[in-house]
Each structure stands twice: as structure tokens, then as C-alpha cells.
Amino acid sequence: MSTTRISGIWISVLVLCISPLLLFAQNNKPLKQPKDGFSIAFYNVENLFDTIDDPKTKDQDFLPSAAVSWNTERYFHKIHQIAKVIANMDSLNYPHIVGLAEVENETVLEDLIAHEFISKAGYKIIHEEDTDPRGIEVALLYRPDYFRPLYHKPLVYMRESGYPTRHILYVKGVIHSGDTLHVFVNHWLSRYGGVEKTAGTRNGTANFLRMAVDMIFSMSPQAKIIIGGDFNDNPDDPSIFSFLRALAPDEEPKPNELYNLAMIPYLEGQGTSYYNKWDFFDQIIVSSSLIQSDSPLYAGPINVIKKDWMLYNAGQYNARPNRTMTRRNYFGGFSDHLPVMVKLYRKDQLKK
């Protein structure tokens, strides 16, 4: 595979140099125009595993023989729960793109998109097998009537130790308006083992991603970039704010910059995951071209999908995401994260 070395990390040259026209010519079917904006969602689905032992990964907690048995009934209940959430993300339609984190393989994705709650959406799958020892991967679901992928590629940040992180899934595609979207699906290293101990890897991943973004900007200053996923850091942590340089939205956004749509709701006390407090780990970040006042395609505010039935009330504590299980208990919930979604509007569609 052809790659180029940039400041000690590897980024595939194919990501930016492949000609979309060659791929676009293969399918000239007109894309549909959404009536209420083009919706983009991201959801950490909390260990969407099948029940089959994969010798290449540490999936022993998701087998029928596990201490908390993971059997066929519980697996399909999990599929049911995740499909229910996706079906209820947008009250008017199914999301046009859904980035996912913590899926085991393509089989679980196929079972998910076939579920009766979302089968009418006609989702297709973009997924690349990863080398994560836990077996959790990222993926993108898309509705082919509304989004046409041109190219996709896993981007792998190599740590100084020589071990790779989970890859970032890059997808380039077009929508009805003719605009090209550059979409990055992320799931950065968790804080397990300590925030300070693990921060260096998240900072390095952020710097790696920023280099990829700057390469896109160098070729297309008005590029429409959407970065989403579970970053395991908050919007004001160094990885996001200093290394990725995802800023708070501004009334006069600067060219070639990234703006974090999660920053303001985070500062207002909202969150997507709850441990000792609400954290806003699941974020959507966009390029300045999507929030400029004169942009024909404009990103609306981020929306945390937080239905009452997705939560449980822990007594004296605030309600928090109703998760599926821990290593000691099965709860039968949805996920330990809440999904987020934004809509891209044509300027004449933007709701005041």
C-alpha cells in the first residue's frame, strides 16, 4: 500500500489524490434531496458483539460461557435496542448517515440494518476490519438514495511504541446538492488506566487527524469536513481544543479551521456519557465552510438524542444512559453513550 511519511506518522496518499470523477462516473443515478436537511448521526453502541468466539480478539466477555452470559437472545435484543434508537433519532426520517463505534464485525452490522425498525431506510455499510485487541471497530451506515460514497479508507495513527490505535474511518462522498463531504468516524483511546496516562495517545491521534484535515484544506480550502465519534475527551480537553484545534463556533469563522458544535452545549452542562459526571465525549466537528454566514450548505446545531426510555434513574443521582451490561450484571439497555446528530441545510431550508 502506498503511503507517505509526514512528521513521524503515516497518512495514505490515496485518501486525497484519488480522482472522485472516475468513481462518480460509475453511478449516475440522481440522488434524492432531503426535505428537512441532510442528517448525520454518530453513536457509540457499547459492544455490539455477536456470540461467536473470534480467536483474533479478546471477546471472551461476549460468549455464552462468559460470567454474564452473552447468548443469542441477548444479542438480538441488543440489535433490537440499537435499531430502535436509530429509528427514533429523527422524528421526520431516518438519519442519512450514521457513524458507529464499538461494533465487532460486518456481520453484526448486517443484522442491524436488516432489523424491521430501520430496514426501510435501506442502509448500506462501509466498514474496514481493524486490529484492535478488544475487537471493537468503527463503521458508517448510509442511505444510498441520499449519499454516494466515492472513496473510503482507514487512517491509522502509529504510536511511538510502534502499536497502532484504532483506525479512523475516512469516507468521501457526494449529496444531492453536488457538495462533496469528507467524513471522519472516530473512536479514540479510552481513559481506562488513567486520564494522564492515556492522554498522550489521544493527543497524538488528534494531531494525526489534524494533518489529514490540513491536507484536504490545502487542496480544497472550502472543503466540507465532518468529524464525529467518541473521542473519550471533552471539547475543552487538549486533544480536541489544542491538538485537533476544534474551536468554539464563532459568528465570523475563519477559513481552514474546525469548529466544534458540541462546545457550547458542553459548557452549558449537557453530556452524552455519565460516570461521575456528564461528559460530552461524543462530538461533531465541522469545517468553517459549513458555518459561514454566506455558505449555501449550513450545519445546524448539534442535538443529543436523549429519550426518557433510553435512560435509567439511579436513585439520588441524575438519570444516565441505560447500558446493556457490565462484567458483573446484565441490564438489557441500549448503550452507555447517547448519540448525537446534526443536519446540513441548504440556506433556504435553515430553520431560524
pLDDT band at 317 (very low <50, low <70, confident <90, very high): low
Each domain of the chain, given as residue ranges in start order, spans: 35-346
Q: What is the pLDDT of residues 160-173, one digit of tens each?
A: 887 899 999 999 99
pLDDT of residue 101: 98
Mean pLDDT across the stretch 341-347? 93
Is residue 6 pLDDT above 60, yes or no? no
Average predicted confidence (pLDDT) for the chain: 90
Is residue 288 pLDDT above 90, yes or no? yes
CA distance 91 to 130: 33
What is the model's pTM? 0.92
Mean pLDDT across the stretch 125-145? 95
pLDDT band at 48 (very low <50, low <70, confident <90, very high): very high
3-state secondary structure of 283: strand
CB of 272 within 8 A of CB of 101? Answer: no
pLDDT band at 181 (very low <50, low <70, confident <90, very high): very high
CA distance 187 to 134: 13
Mean pLDDT across the stretch 8-15? 43
Domain 35-346 has CATH 3.60.10.10: yes
pLDDT of residue 302: 98
CB of 61 within 8 A of CB of 326? Answer: no
DSSP 338: -
pLDDT of residue 315: 67
Q: Name the pairing type of β-strands 137-142 and 297-299.
A: unpaired
pLDDT above 90 covers what percent of the chain? 79
CA count, 13 A, side-chain hemisphere, 162: 0
pLDDT of residue 347: 75
pLDDT of residue 261: 98
Is residue 13 pLDDT above 50, yes or no? no
Q: What is the pLDDT of residues 65-121, one digit of tens each?
A: 999 999 999 999 999 999 999 999 998 899 999 999 999 999 999 999 999 999 999
Burial class (CB in 10 A: 0-12, 13-18, 19+), 72: exposed
pLDDT of residue 20: 47
Is residue 250 pLDDT above 50, yes or no? yes
Is residue 316 pLDDT above 80, yes or no? no
3-state secondary structure of 266: helix
Q: Name the pairing type of β-strands 38-48 and 97-103.
A: parallel
Is residue 12 pLDDT above 80, yes or no? no
